[in-house]
Amino acid sequence: MFAIPLDPAGAEAAELRPLEPWQAEEYLAHIDRGRESIGRFVGLADAAKDLASARAFLQSYAEKQAADSGRIYGIWLEGTLVGGVLFRVFDPAAGNCEAGCWLEPAGVGRGLVTRAARVIIDWAVEERGMHRVEWVVATGNTASVRVAERLGMRRDGILRESYAYGGVRHDMEVWSVLAPEWRKLRAAARAAS
């Protein structure tokens, strides 16, 4: 298994690793700790109500990875799973993918999701040749909107009341970055450091 440090300066032990079915118990404990906050805008918490459903959810991503249609990674902080990033949709033939994230309160405010998203977007663009990376977020999920902004994505538009969740119809914002834009952003970041 690989682990990618998310804090190169070493101030905190944060890393990105694959999240796999054998980690279902740890994943469920993490979801339980953050169920209320994680489940405010997305059904991720609903997909892991017990050990069997947590394992089934992670297995579905193992199958997506085997089919090259999605991937899921966990974010560990000081050895504890606190969130993750994923490719909900991954279509190499079309050159398009959709990235997303989640985080329990213990990981909030540290920049972990932004750093983890950069890692997976770099991989998607540079290793897999993706042309377009999307980020779809409920308008009310301001933390996730700020991640899209920090990543340098552009808001393509709003799908009004397109997502029914928790008895509410949410407006969904579609953000994206194209490969040439991503490369330019990354080169500017490297030059500034």
Residue in 89, 65, 77 with CA at minimum distance from that of residue 30? 77
With cut-offs at 50, 70 and 90, classify the pLDDT of residue 179. very high
Q: What is the mean pLDDT of the chain?
A: 94
Indicate if the pLDDT at residue 91 is higher than 80: yes
- On whether the CB atoms of residues 151 and 121 are closer than 8 A, the answer is yes
Domain extents for the chain?
A: 12-192
Indicate if the pLDDT at residue 9 is higher than 70: no
Alpha helices in the chain (DSSP H): 24-38, 51-66, 112-122, 142-150, 179-192
- Condensed to tens digits (0 to 9), the pLDDT of residues 99-154 reads 999 999 999 999 999 999 999 999 999 999 999 999 999 999 999 999 999 999 99
pLDDT at position 1: 57
Beta carbons within 8 Å of 177's beta carbon, 6+ residues apart: 121, 132, 133, 151, 152, 153, 154, 185
Predicted TM-score (pTM) of the model is: 0.93
> Would you say domain 12-192 falls under CATH 3.40.50.740?
no
